[in-house]
Structure 1
């Protein structure tokens, strides 16, 4: 069982290590997260967990860079 997420007033840990201009609100809960640029995601780590679980084990990242 996973721990409950902290209050929404606390930022996602990714927001604490990214430049301020790359941080933005999670599209689901509005928590501050690393949203823009390399490594960014529109969802915080707590909102991303159930989404990733629904993908299954056969989803893989494919780079579009040469």
Structure 2
């Protein structure tokens, strides 16, 4: 079940807990979100939800840092 999206004028909750220099716009809906730095994502939580649903259970995060 998907949750209803609040208006675009309301930021993603992640933007409220990160420093201001790491806040950017969602690549899809242009809502303010935690986009840069550790823990950042180019999509807000509402735009990421359908993307994650299409990944399936076999997708895992692999760090590319040494």
Q: TM-score range by the shorter chain?
A: over 0.9
CA distance in 2, matches of 1:29, 1:63: 27
1:1-66 aligned at under 5 Å gives the runs 1-66=1-66
Q: RMSD value over aligned CA atoms?
A: 0.9
**Structure 1 residue 53, shift from structure 2 partner:** 0.8
1:13-34, Cα deviation, whole Å (9 max, x unpaired): 0000000010000000000000
**Structure 1 residue 59, shift from structure 2 partner:** 0.4
Structure 1 unaligned spans of 5+:
none
CA distance in 1, matches of 2:3, 2:63: 32
The two structures have a TM-score, normalised by structure 2, of: 0.93
**Structure 1 residue 2, shift from structure 2 partner:** 2.4
